[in-house]
């Protein structure tokens, strides 16, 4: 087994996904302690250029028309071949639809341990410890990694994506994929989600409401705050699931990925599936009655307060500032 850390690079429709840069950032840091190399694994077709800004030492690139877009059938076969041949210390995959799909299959097929919802990995001499967010992010679980190849599903939040980007292109090492002519799954087409009244991914100020808003009747308080600040209201999943806001306002794993200048999280706990969609916001402000809520771990500013009390006060203050300006 080598001390190299392999990172499975996710891309969708020609875009490298943010989680890939976050994982490269995590791998680079670990490699400094372990002395191994940070190796990206890029599967695709005519996709070599996607490796251009990855801060990896090397990118193993496998080119085949069957790898143009993700399918679990083709990807797991190729990754199983690479991991079996190269025996990396760790193989990092995103805690995403793609990454979780693959990690389970690979773990079973290669009989390798799998750590899910992993936020950080820390080196202590030769041994490695992981920190995982469990129970919707409420509990941080720590544990040691076995001294074999381990598969990791990583959540965002532990590292900044910028640290996984570089102006210097990595070395590309082509790798011949195993035969892929008998696959059972192929991608027929992408179905884009319907566009809504606003595109929250383009907004500079987002007022995000969660279950803490308690009732649909309270939403106008958030609308008023958004109007006073020149922003737009978005939400966590419970709010959208109850039909209080359109699905196009959902932030997170199954919704939109946003990176506004300011993200105000009102009564949102900070579950990993929500954080996945908003952790790249420049300034996160959290308001929550529970001082242990995980959202405070990623917020720059926070208030332990009832959103129903604080929203009208914030709105009033924002209006006052506007009047003066």
Ligand X SMILES: Cc1cc2nc3c(=O)[nH]c(=O)nc-3n(C[C@H](O)[C@H](O)[C@H](O)COP(=O)(O)OP(=O)(O)OC[C@H]3O[C@@H](n4cnc5c(N)ncnc54)[C@H](O)[C@@H]3O)c2cc1C
Residues that bind ligand X (CB under 6 A): 136, 210-212, 236-238, 250-255, 267-269, 271, 273-274, 277, 287-290, 293, 306-308
Of 65 and 193, nearer to ligand X (C-beta) is 193
Least CB distance from residue 234 to ligand X, whole Å? 10
Distance CA 163, CA 188 (A): 35
Least CB distance from residue 135 to ligand X, whole Å? 10
Contact criterion met (CB below 8 Å) for 207 and 261: no
Nearest residue to ligand X on Cβ basis? 252
Distance CA 275, CA 282 (A): 13
* DSSP, res 178: P
The 8 Å CB, 24+ separation contacts for 116-124 are 116/153, 117/153, 117/155, 117/272, 118/152, 118/153, 118/154, 118/155, 118/158, 119/154, 119/155, 119/157, 119/158, 120/26, 120/158, 120/159, 121/26, 121/30, 121/90, 121/145, 121/152, 123/30, 123/33, 123/34
Least CB distance from residue 50 to ligand X, whole Å? 25
Of 37 and 237, nearer to ligand X (C-beta) is 237
Least CB distance from residue 90 to ligand X, whole Å? 24
Q: How many CA atoms lie within 13 A of 273 on its CB side?
A: 14
Distance CA 225, CA 196 (A): 21
Of 67 and 311, nearer to ligand X (C-beta) is 311
Of 108 and 134, nearer to ligand X (C-beta) is 134
Closest of 9, 273, 268, 292 to residue 164, by C-alpha: 9
Of 40 and 255, nearer to ligand X (C-beta) is 255
Least CB distance from residue 225 to ligand X, whole Å? 13
Distance CA 206, CA 265 (A): 8
Torsion of CA 82, 167, 277, 71, to 10 degrees: -30
Least CB distance from residue 206 to ligand X, whole Å? 13
Least CB distance from residue 211 to ligand X, whole Å? 4
Contact criterion met (CB below 8 Å) for 154 and 19: yes
Of 11 and 253, nearer to ligand X (C-beta) is 253
Of 219 and 308, nearer to ligand X (C-beta) is 308
């Amino acid at each position: 087994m080598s001390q190299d850390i392999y990172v499975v690079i996710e891309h969708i429709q020609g875009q490298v996904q943010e989680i890939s840069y976050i994982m490269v950032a995590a791998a680079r840091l670990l490699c400094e302690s372990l002395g191994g190399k940070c190796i990206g694994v890029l599967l695709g077709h005519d996709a070599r250029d996607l490796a251009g800004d990855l801060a990896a030492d090397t990118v193993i690139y496998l080119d085949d028309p069957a790898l143009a877009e993700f399918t679990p059938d083709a990807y797991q076969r190729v990754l199983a071949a690479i991991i079996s041949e190269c025996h990396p210390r760790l193989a990092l995959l995103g805690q995403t639809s793609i990454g979780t799909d693959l990690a389970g299959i690979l773990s079973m097929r290669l009989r390798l341990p799998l750590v899910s919802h992993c936020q950080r990995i820390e080196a202590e001499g030769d041994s490695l410890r992981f920190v995982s967010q469990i129970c919707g992010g409420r509990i941080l679980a720590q544990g040691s990694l076995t001294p074999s190849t381990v598969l990791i599903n990583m959540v965002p939040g532990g590292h900044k994506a910028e640290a996984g980007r570089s102006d210097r292109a990595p070395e590309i090492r082509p790798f011949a994929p195993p035969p892929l002519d008998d696959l059972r799954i192929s991608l027929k087409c992408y179905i884009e989600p319907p566009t809504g009244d606003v595109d929250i991914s383009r907004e500079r100020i987002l007022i995000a409401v969660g279950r803490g808003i308690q009732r649909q009747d309270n939403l106008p308080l958030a609308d008023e705050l958004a109007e006073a600040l020149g922003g737009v209201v978005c939400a966590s999943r419970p709010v959208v699931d109850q039909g209080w806001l359109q699905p196009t306002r959902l932030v997170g794993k199954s919704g939109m990925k946003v990176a506004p200048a300011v993200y105000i999280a009102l009564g949102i706990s900070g579950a990993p599936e929500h954080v996945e969609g908003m952790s790249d916001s420049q300034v996160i402000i959290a308001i929550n009655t529970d001082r242990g809520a995980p959202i405070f771990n990623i917020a720059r500013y926070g208030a332990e307060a009832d959103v129903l009390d604080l929203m009208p006060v914030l709105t009033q203050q924002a209006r006052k500032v506007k009047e003066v300006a």
